[in-house]
A and B are shown apart, each in its own frame.
Chain A
Amino acid sequence: MTLPVVSVPPPAPIRFTGDAFDLHTAGPTSTASYDATWFAVLETLNHYLEAAVLTPLRTGGPAGDLSALFNPPALERVVPGGVDRFAFIDENLPALSDLRSERSVAGLTALAGRDGKVSVVTAGLDLRLVGHVAGAPVTVVRTGELVLMPEGSTWRIDAYDIQVVRTVANETTVTTAERE
Chain B
Amino acid sequence: MSQTTLERAVEDVGPLRAVFITAMPDCLLYDAWERAEDGFEVEEIAAYFGDLVRSNRQGLKALGSWSSDMQVTIESAESLVVIREINEHFVCGCVFERSAPLGMVRLQMKRMIERIAEMLPQVEAQERPRGVRLVEFVSRYAPDPHAALMRISVRTGLTMEQLEAAEGLDADAVERLESATKRILGLTQLSV
Q: Do A and B come from one complex?
A: no
Residues of A within 8 A of B (CB): none
